[in-house]
Amino acid sequence: MYSSDLINKFKTFQTPFYYYDLGLLRLTLETLKKEADKYGYNIHYAVKANANEKIMRLISSYGFGADCVSGNEVLKAYECGFEPSKIVFAGVGKSDGEIISALKCGIFCFNCESVQEIEVINSLALSLGKTAQIALRLNPGIDAHTNQKINTGLADSKFGIDFNLLEDTIKEISDFKNIKLIGLHYHIGSQILDFEPFKLLCERSNEMQEKLLALGYELPEINLGGGLGVDYYNPEENPVPEFQKLFSLINQNLKVRKGQRVHFELGRSVVAQCGKLISKVLYIKPARETNFAILDAGFTDLIRPALYGAYHKIENLTSQSSETKIYDVVGPICESTDVFVKHLELKGTSRGDLLSFSSAGAYGEIMASQYNLRKLPNVYYSDNE
Report the candidate in 150, 106, 154, 153 with the shortest Cα–Cα distance to residue 128: 106
Shortest approach of ligand LLP to residue 347 CB, angstroms?
Answer: 28
Q: What are phi and psi of 342, to 5 degrees?
A: -105, 150
| 173 near ligand LLP (CB under 6 A) | no
In this complex, which beta carbon is closest to ligand LLP, that of residue 264 or of residue 327? 264
Interatomic CA distance for residues 101 and 115, integer angstroms: 20
The secondary structure element, H or E, covering residue 250 is: helix 243-253
20 touches 358 (CB < 8 A)? no
What CA–CA distance (Å, rounded) separates 225 from 46? 9
| Residues 228-267: x where in contact with ligand LLP by CB under 6 A, - otherwise, as a string | x------------------------------------xxx
> How far is the C-alpha of 332 from the C-alpha of 125, rounded, in Å?
48
Stretch that binds ligand LLP, among 23-31, 165-173, 183-191, 339-347 (CB under 6 A): 183-191
Q: Is the peptide bond before 16 cis (omega within 30 degrees of 0)?
A: yes
Residue closer to ligand LLP by CB (options 228, 295) is 228
**Binders of ligand LLP among 317-376, rule CB under 6 A?**
363
**269 in contact with ligand LLP (CB under 6 A):** yes
Long-range contacts at 251-259 (CB < 8 A, ≥ 24 apart)? 251/39, 253/198, 253/199, 253/202, 253/203, 253/206, 254/202, 254/205, 254/206, 254/222, 254/224, 255/202, 255/205, 255/206, 255/209, 256/222, 257/209, 257/218, 259/220
Region 85-144 residues binding ligand LLP, contact defined as CB under 6 A: 90
Nearest 10 degrees: CA dihedral of 27, 29, 31, 33?
Answer: -150
> How many residues bind ligand LLP, per CB under 6 A?
21
x/- contact string, 275-314, with ligand LLP (CB under 6 A)? -----------------------------x---x------
We find the least distance from the C-beta atom of residue 335 to ligand LLP, in angstroms, to be 18
Closest CB 285 distance from ligand LLP, rounded Å: 29
Ranges within 212-231 binding ligand LLP (CB under 6 A) = 225-228
Q: By CB under 6 A, is residue 43 in contact with ligand LLP?
A: no
Our CB check for ligand LLP shows the closer of 208 and 294 to be 208
Contacting residues toward ligand LLP, per CB under 6 A: 46, 48-49, 67, 90, 150, 187, 190-191, 225-228, 265-269, 304, 308, 363
